[in-house]
Amino acid sequence: MEHRKIGQNDSSISAIGLGCMGMSDLYGAADRKESIATIHEALEKGITLLDTGDFYGVGHNELLLREALQGQKRENAFIAVKTGVLRSPDGGWIGMNNRPEAIKNALAYTLQRLGVDYIDLYQPARVDPSVPIEETVGAIADMVKAGYVKHIGLSEANAETVRRAHAVHPISWLQIEYSLFSRGIEKEILPTLRELGISLSAYGVLSRGLLSGKWSKDRQGVDFRSFAPRFMGENLDKNLALVEALRDIAVEKQANVAQLAIAWVLSKGEDVIPLIGARKRSQLQDALSAVDLQLSKSDLERIEAAVPAEAVAGTRYAAEQMGMLGVE
């Protein structure tokens, strides 16, 4: 497995990472044994990056990772954890808390649930508008000094926030949605990251399944995608037409749409690390195959012509959720 540097230090991680959220949250029930088998196969195939959050399944995801990592060498896994999102007993989403004392308290529980002595990368899941980013990053920096955290990351932050955070402590990556259907970061955020030497952890590379090549307008929504604008009405029709345009190119490359979409993200730079939200080993295989899919300059031009950024219909989240983001 190819490795890519993270931030400006000597650390490196696998070129793709396994996003574990769907094993515990948002996409309906997952098979526990298959989830663990998927994590094991990812590690066996050279994927070192495992991405989780303390609020995924209200702690379930971290406990699942702990079980999966039993008997594994700690250094073989680069564990990235998001924090700061508040949940209610019924699983509802009730806000954010990135105050320094809350961050440190959450880390204590995360270390216990994961059964580890340190976290490779710790990051607020969203920017809390009520807490200066300097205070949040400063709190995590304290935990770096204490040896509980190796790297600091940010998620869904705009360029100005990234600069302010980086002035407090070096930021190793920004985790943000980036795909053929979500390219807004190319205008300002990605250039800022490259200026500062910060890596990009790209999630949503398949646009929550739209770019899997397997979604159809007849598929009935049974999870949060039922309320996602890109999956609704005429928006869905327009977006699926874009997917079909990609399918023709994928066939020529002896690949499928998902592999083509992942390979496109991989091609955007050595500082870009896609996260693959696989819940099954079969889904993981698409990602592994994408690493070896070589795209020429001509291929990239055709792909981007088939899916112009402005042609994608609908925002990536519903209006209320979009309001929680620091970016478009």
Which 3-state string (H, E, C) describes the chain? Answer: CCEEECCCCCCEEECCEEECHHHCCCCCCCCHHHHHHHHHHHHHCCCCEEEEECCCCCCHHHHHHHHHHCCCCHHHCEEEEEECEEECCCCCEEEECCCHHHHHHHHHHHHHHHCCCCEEEEEECCCCCCCCHHHHHHHHHHHHHCCCEEEEEEECCCHHHHHHHHHHCCCCEEEEECECCECHHHCCHHHHHHHHCCEEEEECCCHHHHHHCCCCCCCCCCCHHHHCHHHCHHHHHHHHHHHHHHHHHHHHCCCCHHHHHHHHHHCCCCCEEEEECCCCHHHHHHHHHHHCCCCCHHHHHHHHHHCCHHHCCCCCCCHHHHCCCCCC
- What is the chain's alpha carbon radius of gyration, rounded to the nearest angstrom? 19
User: Is 0.75 surpassed by the pTM of this model?
Assistant: yes
- CA-to-CA dists, residue 65 to 2, 247, 303, angstroms: 23, 35, 36
Q: How confident is the model at residue 229 (pLDDT cuts 50, 70, 90)?
A: confident
97 φ/ψ angles, rounded to the nearest 5 degrees: -150, 100
The CA distance from 48 to 18, in Å, is 8
The CA distance from 200 to 190, in Å, is 8
Between 88-102, 225-239, 252-266, 282-296, the lowest mean confidence (pLDDT) is in 225-239
> What pLDDT score does 2 carry?
92
Q: How confident is the model at residue 58 (pLDDT cuts 50, 70, 90)?
A: very high
pLDDT, tens only, 145-158: 999 999 999 999 99
> What pLDDT score does 302 carry?
97
> What pLDDT score does 324 carry?
54
Proportion of the chain above pLDDT 90, given as a percent: 76
Mean pLDDT of 117-139: 97
Mean pLDDT of 309-313: 84
Examine the pLDDT at 107 and tell me if it is beyond 80: yes
Q: How confident is the model at residue 323 (pLDDT cuts 50, 70, 90)?
A: low
> What pLDDT score does 314 carry?
73
> What pLDDT score does 328 carry?
43
Are the C-beta atoms of 276 and 262 separated by less than 8 Å?
A: yes
Examine the pLDDT at 322 and tell me if it is beyond 70: no
- Annotated catalytic residues are 56
For 258, residues 6+ apart whose C-beta sits below 8 A from its C-beta are 206, 211, 212, 213, 214, 286, 287, 290
Beta-bridge partners for 79? 50
Greater model confidence, 267 or 321: 267
Give the chain's domains with CATH numbers. Answer: 3-209+266-294 (3.20.20.100)
For 7, residues 6+ apart whose C-beta sits below 8 A from its C-beta are 151, 170, 171, 172, 173, 197, 198, 199
> What pLDDT score does 225 carry?
59
The CA distance from 284 to 249, in Å, is 21
Examine the pLDDT at 207 and tell me if it is beyond 50: yes
